[in-house]
Amino acid sequence: MTDHSEISRLRWQCRRGMKELDVVLVRWLERDFAAADAAQRAAFAELLRLEDDVLWKLMLGRERTGDEAMDALLERLRHADRA
């Protein structure tokens, strides 16, 4: 179970310099984080540590992280609205 303070901290970290990133990150936090497994949650927290320009390139699929869990999460983030 996730506590309120963790969600609040993550929501704050989802606030980026790019509105497009804000929307995607907050949407996943609100819709999918609670049901995510430990690897997905850790990958999400790690993504939030990245600089906006790096994260944007990853979100667009222009680069890969080399980390299987992070790349899988990025794929889910890219296609979240298609499901």
Q: For residue 28, give Cα distances in angstroms to 13, 73.
A: 13, 10
Per residue in 10-67, pLDDT (tens digit) is 999 999 999 999 999 999 999 999 999 999 999 999 999 999 999 999 999 999 999 9
Q: What is the pTM of this model?
A: 0.87
4-82: CATH number = 1.10.150.250
Residue type, 11: R
Spatial separation of the C-alpha atoms in residues 75 and 12, rounded to whole Å? 22
